[in-house]
Amino acid sequence: MDDKKIIKDNCIVIKPFSEVTKFHGHVCPGSAIGYKAAEAGLNELKSGSSQDEEIVAIVENNSCAVDAVQVLTGCTFGKGNLLFKDHGKQVYTFINRNTNDSVRVSLNDSFSVDILAPQLEKLRGAVNSGIATDLEKADLKQMTEDVSQEILEIPYNKLFHAEHIEVDVPKKARIFKNVKCSKCGEIVSEHRAIKLEGEITCIPCFKG
């Protein structure tokens, strides 16, 4: 992509939050946080969305935020350039394979949704338990949208700590052939198959 189309007024041009909402299904603080994390990563890398596999995103949680990362960066599990580490942390590493530049983006410990909206968790609990009134449900929806908008208006460098780091750039995704599990008869990717007593076994069958 032409750099002039990517960078405007020294800022990376990224997709609007409405595209995240369309993909994710609703507005929430989590997707807003992911949006700002991806905004930070792309701006720090001076890169637009990944057209193929040139951008890699390593996410350390599986929250709503990751949907926003996928939409903005173009990184997906299917392409093999969205990597998941189950750490439960609001930490994201973005890598540009073309430039070998990498940036680690971590949410500041001073940030809390509870500080922005102290009543949000209480309202969410009432709605999830089924005891909320219609008014409380409406209040939760409005409060959620207000908090999300407030997060989106925070400059990413006030919300996250972004640090350029050196990492081993992950290899591009490989295509493996399929093999048949000797136990259940289902097809399994060769690199995930296990040999048990000389026979090919899938992971679920191996675990019994």
Would you state the structure tokens that stand for residue 192, as one six-digit string?
């995930």
Tell me phi and psi for residue 104, to 5 degrees: -105, 125
The CATH number, out of the four listed (3.60.90.10, 3.30.1330.130, 3.40.50.2000, 3.40.50.1820), of the domain defined by the range 3-164: 3.30.1330.130
pLDDT of residue 132: 83
Global confidence as pTM: 0.85
Q: Which secondary structure element, helix H or strand E, spans residue 15, and what is its range?
A: none
Mean per-residue pLDDT, 35-44: 97
List Cβ neighbours of 80 (8 Å cut-off, separation of 6 or more): 53, 172, 173, 174
Most confident of 31-40, 112-121, 127-136: 31-40
Q: At what angle do helices 134-152 and 120-129 cross, to 10 degrees?
A: 140
Mean per-residue pLDDT, 120-135: 86
Would you state the structure tokens that stand for residue 126, as one six-digit string?
């009432």
What's the angle, vertex CA 83, arms to CA 79 and CA 88, rounded to 5? 145
5 band by pLDDT with thresholds 50, 70 and 90: very low
Are residues 163 and 50 in contact, defined by beta-carbon separation less than 8 angstroms?
A: no
Report how far residue 141's alpha carbon sits from residue 122's, in angstroms, rounded to the nearest whole number: 13
Would you state the structure tokens that stand for residue 10, as one six-digit string?
């020294």
Report how far residue 117's alpha carbon sits from residue 114's, in angstroms, rounded to the nearest whole number: 5
The CATH number, out of the four listed (3.40.50, 1.10.10, 3.30.60, 1.10.3470), of the domain defined by the range 178-207: 3.30.60
Report how far residue 43's alpha carbon sits from residue 48's, in angstroms, rounded to the nearest whole number: 8
**What are the domain boundaries of the chain?**
3-164, 178-207
Cβ-based burial of 117 (10 A; exposed 0-12, middle 13-18, buried ≥19)? buried
Are residues 79 and 73 in contact, defined by beta-carbon separation less than 8 angstroms?
A: no
Q: What is the pLDDT of residues 62-88, one digit of tens each?
A: 999 999 999 999 999 999 999 999 999
Beta bridge partners of 12: 7
